Each structure stands twice: as structure tokens, then as C-alpha cells.
Amino acid sequence: MAPITNGRTLFNEIPTGFPEPGKTTVYDTSQTIDLENVPLNGGVLVKTLVLSADPYMRVQMRPAHIESYMPPFIVGQPIFSLGVGKVIRSEREGFKAGDYVYGLLDHAEYSIPSPDVPIFGIIVFKPEPGLRYSAYIGAGGMPGQTSYYGWKEYANAKAVCHLLSHVFLEILLSAVFPQGETVFVSGGAGPVGSLVIQLAKQDGLKVIASAGSDEKVQFCKDVGADVAFNYKTTSTLDVLRKEGPLNIYWDNVGGATLDAAIENAANHARFLECGAISQYNSKDGVKMKNLDQIYARRIILYGFLVSDLAPKWQEEFYKVIPKKLASGEFKFTEDVTNGLENSGQAIRDVQTGTNTGKKVIVVAQE
Amino acid sequence: MAPITNGRTLFNEIPTGFPEPGKTTVYDTSQTIDLENVPLNGGVLVKTLVLSADPYMRVQMRPAHIESYMPPFIVGQPIFSLGVGKVIRSEREGFKAGDYVYGLLDHAEYSIPSPDVPIFGIIVFKPEPGLRYSAYIGAGGMPGQTSYYGWKEYANAKAVCHLLSHVFLEILLSAVFPQGETVFVSGGAGPVGSLVIQLAKQDGLKVIASAGSDEKVQFCKDVGADVAFNYKTTSTLDVLRKEGPLNIYWDNVGGATLDAAIENAANHARFLECGAISQYNSKDGVKMKNLDQIYARRIILYGFLVSDLAPKWQEEFYKVIPKKLASGEFKFTEDVTNGLENSGQAIRDVQTGTNTGKKVIVVAQE
């Protein structure tokens, strides 16, 4: 077979604010690849099916010498993100042609993933019947794992039924006070936040969620949030003052929202510091008025990354979550971008929040 | 015996910035007390010997309807703080004339403490031979307990010797890398900070400490800090960039210092959020640039109060610490204010940081 074009999205320059397609990243068609003969050197040739655009990718658009939890993009080379692909040829043990793989993939139609990446190296998975592949980069992948691992490890959620030992009292009080603790989830419509809402409802909590559009607010309600609001048109402080105090805050956004959550935290609240999308595209800093309440109210803030918690929770996650997604017990949404040539725009959309569900870049059909 | 004057420091008005003696508090000599005949109603008549002035007292100077972890001062009534007194008469079980007591006392020469205070109700203690009473409101009292309980509960300190299991390697590496983890203690010369420095050195850590005067910096060094600096004349950021990264940060001050510590935190750092003196006298808020590093570096911030940890650690504290203070193994300093009429100034000095050691107000000799 003759060599074919291998379209790729390259990192072109480090942005100062929001990433711009055509400037921060460029789509390149200059490379060709001979699928039958390209040397694998012990590796795996993967055809990319779907790629993920995630908030943390902004953190990778930095000068390469600055350390952070995800490796930097290198100017002139393809960007990379989590994705699902199909093995075309393999010289690597544990991988064979036809396998579905999940892990970090270059934004390229075809790639030979390095076996040496520090995290999110590709793994083989068997898709759950009835569940489309793209779910494995969202609720069934890293974002869903983030929700599941973090919630299990740190939320220490108390539903009303766990607070009581007397069955009769329990039934009586459950009727009067149907909820246990209260959790606030910012970024509630995203793939992480929306699964957190569902895990929290499963645990019997009252859930407050914020999102950036009325459509996203509706999705928060659809997946079970008791209170959901558009933070662009409604004051977060007003909602939390009315609906709090908060026993748990799942923080996807940081900044002023974090300050508002601290102001409305209950004593001994747990804050799950999962992301800070409001801060990724600005170096201005944010004025915080309530940090002294961290000690006064004995709040514990847990900064965490999904990768650290994988050894403890990954096996349980894959046993529990894909089934619930396939059956529809747990809901998720996707916002599909078609074509790798549009991955730069997809990445920007996630940073500006204009996506309407988990952003999925469909690169190819099988 | 005829009634005698009972001098008292009254709360006069809620301050907007730093408290001002004569305005925020006034010294009052209008009350008399008949020590032999004043009705106790089941209580204890206490002669005040020494009183403490602590940073958190600023939090008590608030409108009474606002909840916080320490009860508010009431306008027109005496302020109160931790202190040591001697029992003159008692109708309360467990207390007898001649006993030394420690706990919340009115800023009055004589008082009958309520048995119903939610925290820090008076307890009887037997002074360690060779240790003056005032130590029991500093390193041997609540501030020292704060250090001890917090350190034991949350620091999870790793000295180099704990990281290795091979004895020979341990000795070899201890010689090359004499220190284990690195801790930064802000407010290092205060009664809390200076004991933290000593506990950290006992655990084999490298200790960086900040303080607000050259005299205080010297005290930090005297108690064992490896690096100590005057944050008013030296950039905290510069020192931490050179001496970090930090595995542990003991935060007594909050604000910009906390932001600098986050910027220089190691992955998986533990932050002990103990106080925020830099924020008590201003409502302006503080601009934070590094909060997104909480999740990126998996920092855990533990907000805590000494009172919550007392049930677990108090008994051990009283067994261990007073002896070490009496023997001189653990050092402490005091900055003495003589006379209850000067308690308002003593309280202000602690807020502005012009005290030169644990602030002690000597009210009377035995």
C-alpha cells in the first residue's frame, strides 16, 4: 500500500491568553505514513478514532522547562490528549491488531505511542456492549475516573440515613429532611462535574450545581442536581447563602467561586480541589476575602490528581461505571467536533466554556 | 473584709482596623468586690495572676450575632482570654482554695468563671517544678497545644532516617544529606511557631522560619531554625525559591505568605492552616496567584483548631511538654506587660506584631 497523508495538529506557539486555532496550534498535512511498512521498533501502530479536549490541556501549553503534572506540548510537534484508537499492527506484548486502546494519543490520524510516557500510557479495553467508544474518554475515562476516585477518596459524604442508627427515626426524619449533607459542584455540566452530581445523589446528598449556560444548567438538573444555576446570570454568593452551608465543595473552577464556597462552608467542610478553569487563561491572580475561614471553620482542601488515585480505585471504576453508563443509570452528554483539522477549535471551546457537553473530537470511523 | 476595687478591662466598641486601647477597650475601676462574701452560686472565685494576649482575640471583636469559633466580646462587659489564676473560694466540685487554674478568664482582677463556656473552661493544673505559671498560657498552654496537636495530627513529617530501611545507607546519606523534608514556619517567633520549629527539628527536618523583626529572627535561630529571615526586609518569595521546595508549611499568617508558600510547595505538600494574622485587621482581601497549584501539586490544606484536637492529644501534651520547658530542652520567650490596665495595649501589640515574645499580662502576684 502506498504511503498516505497523516494529518496532525501541531503545537505552534505558547499562548498568553486563550489558545487560538491557526496560531497556538496548526493543522498539518505534510507527513505521509506507510501503514504496512512503517517501522514499529517494538511499538504499536494506532489508528485514532476519537480524541478528548480537556481543560487541563491549557496547562500543557507552557514553556517546556516548567514542571507541572502533565508533560508540556513541544513547539513543532503534535499536541496529544487522551483518546481511543484501534491497533493496526503491533510488536508490543499485550497489544494485537484489532484491540481498542485508551490513553494519551498524538493529535494525528495515525501514531505509534511511546511506551515511556509517565502517565496515561495506552491500555487495552473491551468496550461495554451498547456503549460507544467516545464514552471511554468522558464519563467512562479520565474525567469519570476523576469524579469516582476523588469522591470515593475524599468526600466522606454523610447522607441522613448514615447519621442515624434508629430505623424508625430514620424513616421519620428522612421524610421531614430528605437530604443529608449538602455539596456544591462547580462546572456541574462537565464530564467530571456531572458524574459527581450523580454520585452525590446516589449517596443521598443535597446537590447544588453551577454551570455557564442555561442549557448546561438544564443538564445539571437532568442528572439530579436539586439546585442548579447559571453563574453568568445569577450570583453564586446569593445562591450559596440561600442554599448552604456546604459540607462538601467539588471545585472545578477555582477563583472567585472558591472564595464564595469558603464563605459558605460549614465547619469541617471537605473541599475537593480538582481544577481551576477560571485561572488557566490569566496570570492576574484573584482577590480572595475568605481564606482565613479555612482554619476558622476547619476546612480541609484536598488537592488531587486522578493519576495518583488510579492504583487504588481504577479496577473498581471499570467494574462499576461503564455498565451504569451503558444502562443509562448514569447519564452523560457529548459535544462532537468532527475532523482532526478542528481540534484546535475544540480545545479553545473547552477553555472558553462554549462546548455543550464533554468535548469529543471524532477523527475517524473504524 | 471590706469590698475592694475589682479592676476590669471592658469591651467598648467594635474596631474597624487595629484595636485601640481606650477606644476598643477601656479599663474600668468602678466595680468593687467583697472577696469573703460575694455569692458564688456553686462557682469558683478566682484571683487572676496572668492573662494571655493572643492573635485570635481580634476575631472576638465582632458583632455578637456573627458566629465564629471563639465567642464574641460583648460591649460593656469584660473581655476575656486564657489565663492562670488561683482559687480563693470554691463551691464547685474539683476546685478548692489554693488550686491553680488555667482557662478562659475575664480581664478582671477577680472573677467567677462561668462553668458553661463551650471551650477552654477552667481546669486545675499542678505547675511543674521550676516552670513559672505564665508558661502555662504560652508554650505550656493553648499556643503550645496548638503546635503539638497540629504537628502530631497533620504534619506527617519525614526525616531522612525514616525514609530508609538500611542502616548503613542511612548513616551514609545522613552525612551527605543531613536533612529530611523541609518545613516553612511563618510567625516563627511566636509561641505557636517557635514550638513548631523545635518539634520539626526534633523530627530531623530542615526548618525555614519567618518573623517580623531581627530580634525575632534571632529567636527563631536560637530555637533551631536552619534558615530564618525578617519578612519585612527580605522577600519571602526569594527565600522560599532558594531554600524550598516545601514539604510542609505551617501557616500562622495567611495572605501573600500563603501564596508564596503554594508557589514553592513540593508535590504532596501538607499545609497546616493555623492562623491568618495578616488578614484579621483588614477586609480588603488578598490577591492570590497560585491557588491552582493546590490541585496541580496535590497539596492538602488542613484548617484546624486546637480545641477539636484536645481530646486526642491533651493528655500526652501535659505529660511531655511542661517537663521539656522546665528542663530548658524546649525554649520559649515572654514579653511581659505589667498591670491589667495595660491589657488593651498588650492586645494591640500582638495584632501589630510589636511584641517580642509570647505576650503575657501580669495582673497580680500570688
Q: What is the pLDDT of residue A119?
A: 85
Cβ distance A291 to B305 less than 8 Å, yes or no, reads no
The residue of chain A nearest to residue B253, with distances taken between CA atoms, is A292
CA angle B315/B72/A241 to nearest 5° reads: 105
Contacts of A274 in chain B (CB under 8 A): 295
At B302, list the grid cell: 488542613
Q: Which residues of chain A have pLDDT under 70?
A: 160-179
CA atoms within 13 A on the CB side of A7: 11
Q: Bigger pLDDT: B250 or B355?
A: B250
Q: How far apart are CA B147 and CA A219, in angstroms?
A: 47
- The secondary element (H helix, E strand) that includes residue A202 is helix A191-202
pLDDT at B164 over 50: no
pLDDT in tens, B230-260: 999 999 999 999 999 999 999 999 999 999 9
Q: Bigger pLDDT: B69 or B235?
A: B235
Q: How far apart are CA B179 and CA B191, in angstroms?
A: 24
Distance of CA A48 to CAs A42, A86, A87, A358, B318, Å? 19, 7, 9, 18, 65
Average pLDDT, integer, range B263-291? 90
Q: What is the pLDDT of residue B184?
A: 98
The residue of chain A nearest to residue B296, with distances taken between CA atoms, is A69
pLDDT at B172 over 60: no
Q: How far apart are CA A159 and CA A204, in angstroms?
A: 5
> For residue A361, how many other CB atoms are within 10 A of its CB?
27
Distance from CA of B280 to the nearest CA of A (A): 8
At B263, list the grid cell: 508557589
The residue of chain A nearest to residue B273, with distances taken between CA atoms, is A295
Cβ distance A294 to B285 less than 8 Å, yes or no, reads no
Contacts of A69 in chain B (CB under 8 A): 267, 296-297
pLDDT at B347 over 70: yes
Average pLDDT, integer, range B192-220? 96
Q: How far apart are CA B216 and CA A29, in angstroms?
A: 65
Distance from CA of A257 to the nearest CA of B (A): 12
pLDDT in tens, A199-241: 999 999 999 999 999 999 999 999 999 999 999 999 999 999 9
Question: Which member of B285, B293, B305 has the closest CB to residue A295?
Answer: B305
Contacts of B147 in chain A (CB under 8 A): none
Q: Which residues of B touch A (CB under 8 A)?
A: 59, 68-69, 251, 254-255, 258, 267, 273-276, 279-280, 283-289, 291-305, 308
Residues found in chain B: 366
Q: What is the pLDDT of residue A87?
A: 98
Q: What is the pLDDT of residue A169?
A: 53
Number of H helices, E strands in chain B: 11, 18
Q: How far apart are CA B185 and CA B169, in angstroms?
A: 30
CA angle B347/B351/B355 to nearest 5° reads: 75
Average pLDDT, integer, range B130-151? 95
Distance from CA of B2 to the nearest CA of A (A): 45
Q: Which residues of A touch B (CB under 8 A)?
A: 59, 68-69, 251, 254-255, 258, 273-276, 279-280, 283-289, 291-305, 308
Given the DSSP bridges, would you call strands B227-230 and B246-251 parallel, antiparallel or unpaired?
unpaired
Query: A362 forms bridges with which residues in the sheet?
Result: A50, A338
Distance of CA B211 to CAs A360, B107, B108, B179, Å? 52, 28, 32, 22
Q: Is B218 exposed, middle or buried (0-12, 13-18, 19+ CB in 10 A)?
A: middle
Cβ distance A297 to B258 less than 8 Å, yes or no, reads no
Give the residue from B153, B67, B66, B52 showing the smallest Cα distance to A300: B153
pLDDT at B196 over 80: yes
Residue to substitute from B301, B305, B351, interface A, most A β-carbons within 10 A:
B301
Q: How far apart are CA B248 and CA A50, in angstroms?
A: 41
Q: How far apart are CA B224 and CA B205, in angstroms?
A: 10
List chain A domain ranges: 4-138+333-362, 143-307
Cis peptide bond prior to B245, omega within 30° of 0? yes
Cβ distance B288 to A292 less than 8 Å, yes or no, reads no
Give the residue from B49, B163, B128 showing the smallest Cα distance to B329: B128
Q: Bigger pLDDT: B276 or A148?
A: A148
Buried b (16+ CB within 10 A) or exposed e, A331-346: bbbbeebeebbbbbbb
Q: What is the pLDDT of residue B326?
A: 96
Query: A110 forms bridges with which residues in the sheet?
Result: A47
| CATH architecture for segment(s) B143-307 | 3-Layer(aba) Sandwich (3.40)
CB contacts < 8 A, A to B, total 101
| Equal fold, B4-138+333-362 vs B143-307 | no
Contacts of A251 in chain B (CB under 8 A): 295
Radius of gyration of chain B (CA): 22
Cβ distance B305 to A296 less than 8 Å, yes or no, reads yes
The residue of chain A nearest to residue B283, with distances taken between CA atoms, is A289
Q: How far apart are CA A290 and CA A293, in angstroms?
A: 6
Q: How far apart are CA A90 and CA A73, in angstroms?
A: 26
Coil, helix or strand at residue A273: strand
Give the residue from B7, B10, B15 showing the smallest Cα distance to B75: B10
The phi and psi torsions of A104 (rounded to 5 degrees) equal -70, 125
The phi and psi torsions of A202 (rounded to 5 degrees) equal -60, -30
Q: Which CATH number fits domain B4-138+333-362: 2.60.40.420, 3.40.50.2300, 3.40.50.1000, 3.90.180.10?
A: 3.90.180.10
